[in-house]
Amino acid sequence: MYKAQLQKLLNIPKVQQKTEKWYEMRMNMITASDFAQALGEGKFGTQKQLIEKKCTPRENENAISKANPFFKWGNMFEPVAVSIYEKLSNAHVHEFGLIQHPKYSFFGASPDGITDDGIMLEIKCPFKRKLTGDIPLQYYYQIQGQLDVCGLEECDYFECMFELVDSRESFMHIKDKIKGVIKEIGNVYEYQQPFMVNEDDSHAWCTHECKYWVLQDMNLKRVVKDAKFVDEKLKELEKIWDKILYYRSNPSAFQIEVLNQINIDSEKYSGNIKHKSKQLPKKKFNLMNGGDTYMFLD
C-alpha cells in the first residue's frame, strides 16, 4: 500500500522547494510548517503574525530566509542529514516539492523526503537547541499535517546536531566520529563523499571556501499518524483560512482587527499532545571507512 501511494505522489507535478513558484503557492495556502502557529501553538510566531503574513504583499521571502542564520544552517546541513539517514536505514529517499492536500485545498506540505517503503522523513538540524529525544509540539503538528497531505501513516523524525570545526588541522585530528567537508560557492553548497575523508583528499577538493563539520549527536524517532488529531485540527484550521480570506477582501477590518492589534476573535487552542512516537532501538551502524562503527544515541 505504501509503495502504491509513493508512486502516486511521485506522479504529481513537482514544484521545487524554495523557487518563486513554490513561494507563490505557499502564500496562497497554510503549509504544514505553519500548522501549529496558525492554531496558536507555534514556537516561532503567533497566530496574529501568521494572519498578517498571509494578508500582506509578499516580500522577498527567499532573500529574507537566506539571511536568517538558523535557516542557512538547516539548509546547509539538511542534505548531509539525509545522506546519514539513508546509510542508517539502508533506504533511498525521494525528494518532493510542495504538495497540496487532496481535500483541503488551502493546506499543503513540502516533506523532506519519502523512502521507497513509504516512510516520510522530517529532518531537523538545530542551530543551537540541544537534542533531548522529545519532539517539539510545533514539529509534531508539522509531521501530522505532512502525513495527512501525503496519505501516509509513518514518519521518521531525524535530528542531527552538527558542529563546525575551526581548522582543517583540528578536523583531521577528530577520530571515531562522522565528519565531512562542505564547499560553499556563493549560496550553493557542494558535499564531499564519503563523509570520512583523509587529509590529502580534503585538501585537494577544497578549491573554494570550505567548512569542516562533525556530527556530535543525533536522534531518530518513528511518528505514527494520529488521524483523529489531524482531522480535528484541520477543521479548526479551515476557520482560520476563512478568516484570512475575509481579511484579504476587507482591508479596513484587517487594519482595525489585526494591524491595530484588536482581538481578532479567534478561538484559543491549547493542551498537551501525547506524541504517538517511539524511539527506535539503539543499534551499531557501519558508517565509516575501514569498518568502524558508530553508536546511534538516544
Asked if the structure places residue 198 within a domain, the reply is: no
- pLDDT at residue 298, as a whole number: 33
- Residue 274 has a pLDDT of 43
Domain-located, residue 157: yes
Q: Are the C-beta atoms of 47 and 39 separated by less than 8 Å?
A: yes
52 in a structural domain: yes
Residue-level pLDDT at 269: 31
**Residue 62, amino acid:** N
Q: Render pLDDT for 80-90 as a digit per residue (tens, 0 to 9).
A: 999 999 999 99
Q: What is the pLDDT of residue 174?
A: 86
Residue 230: domain span = 2-161+219-295
Per residue in 230-252, pLDDT (tens digit) is 999 999 999 999 999 999 999 99
Render each residue's pLDDT in the chain as its tens digit; 298 residues: 788 899 999 999 877 767 788 788 889 999 999 999 999 998 889 999 999 999 987 665 555 555 678 888 989 999 999 999 999 999 999 999 899 999 999 999 999 999 999 999 999 999 988 899 899 999 999 999 999 999 999 999 999 999 999 888 888 888 889 998 998 887 789 888 656 556 556 666 776 678 899 999 999 999 999 999 999 999 999 999 999 999 999 999 999 999 987 555 444 333 333 445 555 544 444 444 333 333 333 3
**For position 272, what pLDDT does the model report?**
34
pTM for the model: 0.83
HSE-CB at 185 with a 13 A cutoff on CA atoms is 7
User: What pLDDT score was predicted for residue 227?
Assistant: 98
In a domain, 207, yes or no: no
Q: Evaluate whether 243 touches 266 at the Cβ level (below 8 Å).
A: yes
Query: What are phi and psi for residue 44, nearest 5 degrees?
Result: -110, 10
The burial class, CB within 10 Å (0-12 / 13-18 / 19+), for 59 is exposed
Report d(CA 61, CA 286) in Å as an integer: 40
7, 102, 197 from 87: Cα distances, Å: 23, 32, 16
Kindly state the greatest CA–CA separation across the chain.
67
Please tell me the predicted confidence (pLDDT) of residue 150: 97
Residue 166 placed within a domain = no
What is the DSSP pairing of strand 120-124 with strand 154-165?
Answer: parallel
Domain membership of residue 193 (yes or no) is no
Query: Tell me, what's the pLDDT at 168?
Result: 82
Q: Is 32 helix (H, G, I), strand (E, B) or coil?
A: helix
Is the separation of the CB atoms in 213 and 164 below 8 Å?
A: yes
pLDDT in the model for residue 289? 38
Q: Does residue 225 lie within any of the structural domains?
A: yes
State the CATH number of the domain containing residue 68.
3.90.320.10
Phi-psi sector, 57: left (phi>0), alpha (psi -120 to 50), beta: beta
**Which pLDDT score is estimated for 217?**
95
Number of compact structural domains in the chain: 1
**249 belongs to a structural domain:** yes
Q: DSSP label at 133?
A: S
